[in-house]
Structure 1
């Protein structure tokens, strides 16, 4: 569920909420990386999901 119910939809899905542990865990599991690696990527790159997916694939 979106944190702000007024801001639901596509914009919310394009980002990884680094403050939400379940989103970071899901992202890490999806790319078979550790949660620490996922958090490091978010800190370095930002929370845009497309850029994070590309960076996580480059780690493999």
Structure 2
């Protein structure tokens, strides 16, 4: 059972890719689509936010610029 009185922040370092709300929030923070987020997480090999960010930067730097609300 989940003990809400024990909160130490370890979960904040990762995005639960099976939780649509958490993925949606992370998508908005990164300004990318859900598909791009999952692709980057797979390329990073982890759902760790820090590693994801560096992988996303590398992918977006190598991709041509696109207009629109989200980077795809």
- The TM-score bracket by the shorter chain reads 0.7 to 0.9
Instruction: Could you tell me which runs of 5 or more consecutive residues in structure 1 were left unpaired when the two chains were aligned.
Output: none
Structure 2 length-normalised TM: 0.63
Tell me how many residue pairs correspond in the alignment.
57
TM-score, normalisation: structure 1: 0.73
Give the 4+ runs in structure 1 shifted more than 3 A: 4-8
User: What's the C-alpha RMSD, in Å, of the aligned pairs?
Assistant: 1.9
Aligned pair in 2 of structure 1 residues 32, 12: CA closer, same or farther (>3 Å)?
same
| Structure 2 unaligned regions, length at least 5 | 62-72
